[in-house]
Structure 1
Amino acid sequence: MMMTAIGLMSGTSLDGVDVALIKTDGRRVAALGPSGYRPYTETERGLLRHALAEAVELERRDARPGVLAEAERAVTIAHAEAVAAFIAQHRLSAEAIDVAGFHGQTVLHRPEAKLTVQIGDAAALARAIRIPVVYDFRAADVASGGQGAPFVPVYHRALAQSLSRDGAVAVVNIGGVSNITYIDGSDTLIACDTGPGNALLDDFVFRTQGKPFDCEGRLAAQGTVDQAWVGDALQHPFFLKPPPKSLDRNAFAGLALRDWSAEDGAATLTAFTARAIAAVVPLLPKPTASWVVTGGGARNLTMMRLLREVLAPASVESADALGWSADAMEAQAFGFLATRGLKGLPLSYPATTGVAFPMTGGLLARP
């Protein structure tokens, strides 16, 4: 049975809340509806950065000490406002929506310790928006020994099945962290994080320019890449590990950044992300003919140019060029995953998160 779902995503880049409507039975995508966006204010973004710093000390996934409780309230309110504005703008009604998929805001991801923490009060959100909410997607996978990420591959596969492409297809999502989905027909689905996405770059641009990100890669386009630094950074043992593997947003935050100009630093960190993505190619079963880029990195023209260079001769195109939505992809995915979770279908697999067997997931909060 087809369901109408709203997906909600607040990524590790801390930019805001994405909202998207999707019609699906959890196996195929019947229709993609409109999407929306509710940016975090500077105050909210600062609060979330503070929460990320404090979350490093967490040992229990349900603990909300100090600023984390305040951050959870802010995340919940922002999501409720995002849904309310989306419903009003598109003249929808809560009764016409079967379920909302609520990812929450990741503040800590340490699968090796069987710990992943997403803040956001699903019960309060369900009451506020008057729609059943599926949440806590990653917990069951991590508790069973999986990496708990990435979780979008099953949605990527559903989209890729509509493409007429020869050979393997890879979808790379560049958010705070970058991850790929490798799809070869209906049988082979492999996924993993590849390394930094926009997190290092965004944090650097914020420190040096006071701006949340490098708009369209304009700053990086004016700089010179520190190739020696990139080469050293790529010696991190993570890049040699085979899939599946996953990262915390701040996994590379301890790298010793040099005294670059704003332009050279942006160019270097953008190149690091692109080359880290390319570093996964030898770990895949066979060369990938087509790459589709989604997430915030798809809007970074310098990032896209570098990806075309390092992934040649494969084609590299943005999700938008295929009629998909680079901005709304993850929000759509969590609407899709909410439907799969309600039906008890797998959300993760041994070759996507390293879990021992296909796992469903998600909990349900009713209004």
Structure 2
Amino acid sequence: MWSVVGTISGTSADGIDLAEILTDGISVERFGPGTTAPYRAETRKAVLSAIAKGPKDRSAWPALARAVTDDHAAALEAYLAEHGLLPDAVVFHGQTVWHDPSVGETVQLGEPQALADRLGLPVIGDVRLADMAEGGQGAPLVPVYHQALARELDQPLCFLNIGGVSNLTYLNGDDILAFDIGPGNALLDDWIRKHGAGEFDENGAVSAKGTVHQDRIATALEHPFFTAPGPKSLDRNAFSMTVAEGLSLQDGAATMVALTAGTIGLSEKLLPKVPALWIVCGGGRLNPTLMAALRSVLQGDVRSSEEFGIDGNALEAQAMAFLGARFQAGLPTSFPSTTGASRPVCGGKLYLPQAQRRIA
């Protein structure tokens, strides 16, 4: 068993998730503490700017990689000290600013070697690159962790993660299927920020007051991505806010929520069997308006991860830690049925701190 700390920051850049687990990469013996540390305001602003600009302007990426690394290092130092942890390894996912599997490129900014040297601990980074090199989408990578969590649950079931992009993991015995679905919280978050109404639709309060423009939803759902079979993945900016253009704040938010729910409803038709249960993870589970919309479009029971003792805030950081343990054990972290890779792939790269490199 290894003690591994996982870290990840999503494309909303709302903070750095950290979590420790004790695992052999097959099962989890202990769930350690989980927390979220904020980026510095200037780092978050730069991350969101880089995501918005995309790959055409990469000039700010080197400085941003250093800032992302510094913020992760500070967060990890505080976290390890607070909880008295000395892990065997840290998994550093880095900050995604661009993802386009059609051209074989995914960009997670950060400097794993610099982080290893500062912490004095082994760091596992570059977790998506090996999958991309084998023709995979590089995402989603969490399904193998979902599989470990679901071993004692009745199946078929789906884990539904609603972050910036929504994605699912379908599980039925040894069968595992995963793919990105469509817009998650990203468009709604952008809409709320655009109108100066906060950073996100807290408690679904804004969208709950709006009226859904069903004609716009019907048109948006005609996009071929939503009915294409998996594996498939998306960049955060693959879709725009045009579905809500010209609407009021509340109506636009309600229409965005309906779009997210509608795409998830379509995804159910792409699965081998109708899941009896949907376990919802990610920030979307905290939006009651979205959860109600999901219950209206999905045939199975829709429940939040916490109802199964799964910390929805820590899950993705835990998953990164789990992937790190699988890398250490030489086990696959992604599969043809989850990312479209040509074969099962063990992803990651080990970065030893300077002292250990000298000994090696």
Q: Do Structure 1 and Structure 2 share a fold, with TM-score over 0.5?
A: yes
Match of 2:356 in 1: none
Q: Which amino acid aligns with 2:19?
A: A
| Aligned with residue 334 of structure 1, among 299, 309, 320 | 320
Q: How far has the Cα of 1:85 moved from its partner?
A: 1.6
* TM superposition shift of 1:74: 1.6
1:86 paired with 2:79, answer yes
> In the alignment, is the contact (CA less than 8 A) between 2:179 and 2:338 conserved in 1?
yes
Match of 1:61 in 2: none
* Aligned position for 1:68: 61
Q: 1:344 aligns with which of 320, 330, 334?
A: 330
1:182 aligns with 2:170: yes
Greater shift, 341-350 or 249-258, is seen at 249-258
**CA separation in 2, counterparts of 1:326 and 1:39?**
17
How many Å apart are 1:264 and its aligned residue?
A: 1.0
Q: Does 1:263 align with 2:262?
A: no
The reply to whether residue 283 of structure 1 matches residue 276 of structure 2 is no
Counterpart position of 2:141: 151
Partners of 1:50 and 1:67 within 8 A in 2: no
Paired residue for 1:3?
A: 2
The structural deviation recorded for 1:254 is 6.6
Aligned-pair identity in percent equals: 48
Q: Distance in 1 between matches of 2:152 and 2:10?
A: 26
User: Shift of residue 256 of structure 1?
Assistant: 5.0
2:158 pairs with 144, 160, 170, which one?
A: 170
Give distance in 2, aligned partners of 1:216 and 1:99.
36
- Which residue identity does 1:337 align to in structure 2? L
Q: Is the 8 A contact 2:7 2:91 kept in 1?
A: yes
Q: Does 1:116 align with 2:102?
A: no
Rounded to whole Å, the distance in 2 between the matches of 1:42 and 1:252 is: 26
SS of structure 2 residue aligned to 1:56: helix
* Aligned residue pair count: 353
Q: CA deviation at 1:70?
A: 2.1
| Root-mean-square deviation (Å) | 1.3
Structure 2 counterpart of 1:161, one-letter code: R
Q: Does the CA contact (< 8 Å) of 2:243 and 2:256 recur in 1? A: no
For each residue in 1:5-56, what CA deviation from the matched residue of structure 2 results, as whole angstroms up to 9, or x when unmatched? Answer: 0000101121110000101100111111110111224322211122113432
Which residue number in structure 1 is paired with residue 126 of structure 2?
Answer: 136
The answer for the alignment partner of 2:227 in structure 1 is 240
Q: How far did 1:302 drift?
A: 1.1
Distance in 2 (alpha carbons) for counterparts of 1:162 and 1:10: 29
Question: Which residue of the other structure, out of 278, 285, 295, is the alignment partner of 1:308?
Answer: 295
Task: Work out the CA distance in 1 between the residues paired with 2:88 and 2:208.
Answer: 45
**TM-score after normalising by structure 1:** 0.93
Worse overlay, 284-293 or 82-91: 82-91
Q: CA deviation at 1:351?
A: 0.6
Secondary structure of 1:97's counterpart equals: coil
Match of residue 62 from structure 1: none
| In 2, Cα distance between equivalents of 1:255 and 1:239 | 17
1:179-213 deviation digits (Å, cap 9, x = unpaired) = 1000001x100000000111111111111125211
1:88 and 1:162 map into 2 onto residues whose CA distance is 34
Which residue in 2 is equivalent to 1:226? Answer: 213
Match of 2:54 in 1: 55
Q: What does residue range 25-36 of structure 1 map to in structure 2 within 5 Å?
A: 25-36=24-35
Equivalent-residue separation in structure 2 for 1:128 and 1:340 (angstroms): 24
CA contact (8 A) 1:5 1:99 kept: yes
2:74 and 2:256 map into 1 onto residues whose CA distance is: 34
Structure 1 residue runs of 5 or longer lacking an equivalent are 59-64
Partner of 1:22 in structure 2?
21
Whether contact under 8 Å (1:54, 1:68) holds in the other structure is no
